[in-house]
Structures are given as C-alpha cells and as structure tokens.
C-alpha cells in the first residue's frame, strides 16, 4: 500500500535545532511516522519535544552541541548513533539569523551565521554520509529558505548561507545518490518562528509579506511535517537534489 511507503518504522533520525519551531515540529512528525529521534540543541529546553516524541510511542534522545564549532559535528553524529544504533535520517535544521544593513554587518556576525547555517550543515552531512554509505542507505534533509532563491533585505550572511545550502544539497546528491543516500532540502516560506519575530512585530513589513502570500497567512511549523516525512521516507527514494518549497505560494507570485 502506498501509505506504507511513508512509514519510518525501524529508522533513527537526528534533528538539529529540535527544541522549538521548525525543528521541533519535524522531530515530532518523524516520530509520528515511526522513527526514533535524537534531538539536538545548544542550550534550548528539549523537554517538550521529548515529551511529544514519547507520546507517539517512539524513543527520543536529547543531545547537546554548539554547532558554531564544526568540530562538534562528528561527535554529535557519533552520539546519536550510539544512542539509537544508527543515523538513518539527518535533518540539518539548526540556524541563526543576524539582521543589519549590509554596510554595518560585523565580521563576528557574518562568521557566526556562516558557521551555524552552512559550515555545520556540511560537517554534519559529511559525518552522517560516511556512516550511511557503509550501510548503503540514508536520508539527509537540509533546511534551506526562500532566501536560497532571493536576496532578502538586511540579512546578507543568512542569504549567502542559504544559497550555499541549496548548492551543497545538489552537490552532495550528485555524489551520494549512487550510494543509496538521498540528499534534498526543504525551503520554508515565511514561518511564524523566533527567526521571524522581528518581521511579524513590524506592522509595515508584516503587511508587505502577507500581501504577497497567496495562502493569506504566515506558515506554521507543522506545515513542514508532511514534506519532512516524505523526504525521510521510502516514498522519496528517487528524489535527489531537490529543493521542496513550502511557502503558501510565495514563489508563485
């Protein structure tokens, strides 16, 4: 039956930035589909995510890692593998954003965004792929952005990183597809999360955004659940190097 191809029974997932927002919603969705899930965060409270995973009957594991230091990436994948037996699914969700006019961005802010949003994605993907290649299967899902396609305003480092994530997704897909590893990305639209709080609090900017979204609303973290389960499941086994836009129609305008 086709619905069986969306099941994740017997799979183990690692989701970064799983303490809130998109990462929390994705981690819970993967558990609802049958996966055991390791959720990682730097300092955030993972209790709510773990409780929701436990309510599905699946196993949840809390891990800590500062992804601003890419040297921790291999350790994080190894810790998830020890806890769950393997990492069959990696979701590179953790990210930060620093807003400032381009001519005022500091080197500290630029490097912080690139380290977490790009360098950590590369290091985690490489570490996970090394294990997945031995087993001959795996799913890597990167969280891209509408700013993987557009320039944005006052977020040059974030835009640069998300453009690079799109390219990295395709590059890894080219090399890893033959090893049974699917590498794809989800590009969320304007979602109601901590990263967009400043935009939603600005009446003029919020109005401009809403006017462009055909669905007529900001996205919610749960709106990514179906896309994440699809890309993590056998239903997407012939999908490689794709950026799946979940944006309420923004890119269609």
Residues with catalytic function: 158
126/123 Cα distance (integer angstroms):
5
What proportions of the chain, in percent to the nearest 5, are helix, strand and coil? 55, 15, 30
CA distance between the termini of the chain: 36
CA distances from 141 to 107, 183, 185, 201 (A): 29, 6, 5, 30
215/250 Cα distance (integer angstroms):
8
Contact by Cβ (8 Å): 30, 54: no
Closest C-alpha to 58, from 30, 86, 24, 25: 30
CA distances from 77 to 2, 87, 128, 136 (A): 31, 7, 6, 17
For 232, the 3-state DSSP assignment is helix
CA 127 vs. chain centroid, Å, equals 16
Contact by Cβ (8 Å): 220, 149: no
CA distances from 53 to 168, 193, 206, 220, 221 (A): 30, 20, 33, 19, 16
Two tokens at 86?
Answer: 């393997």
């Amino acid at each position: 039956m086709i619905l069986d191809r969306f099941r994740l029974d017997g799979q183990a997932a690692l989701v970064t930035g799983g303490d809130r927002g998109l990462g929390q919603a994705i981690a819970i969705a993967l558990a609802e589909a049958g996966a055991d899930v390791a959720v990682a965060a730097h300092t955030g409270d993972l209790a709510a995510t773990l409780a929701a995973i436990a309510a599905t009957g699946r196993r949840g594991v809390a891990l800590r890692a500062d992804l601003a230091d890419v040297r921790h990436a291999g350790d994080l994948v190894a810790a998830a593998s020890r806890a769950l037996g393997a990492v069959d699914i990696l979701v590179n969700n953790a990210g930060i954003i620093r807003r400032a006019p381009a001519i005022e961005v500091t080197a500290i802010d630029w490097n912080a965004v690139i380290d977490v949003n790009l360098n950590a994605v590369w290091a985690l993907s490489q570490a996970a792929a090394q294990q997945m290649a031995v087993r001959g299967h795996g799913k890597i899902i990167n969280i891209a952005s509408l700013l993987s396609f557009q320039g944005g305003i006052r977020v040059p480092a974030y835009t640069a990183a998300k453009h690079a994530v799109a390219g990295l997704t395709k590059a890894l897909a080219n090399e890893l597809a033959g090893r049974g590893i699917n590498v794809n990305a989800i590009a969320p639209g304007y979602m109601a999360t901590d990263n967009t709080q400043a935009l939603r609090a600005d009446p003029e900017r919020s109005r401009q955004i809403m006017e462009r979204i055909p669905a007529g609303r900001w996205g919610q973290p749960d709106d990514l659940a179906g896309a994440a389960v699809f890309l993590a499941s056998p239903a997407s086994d012939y999908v490689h190097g794709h950026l799946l836009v979940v944006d309420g129609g923004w890119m269609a305008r």
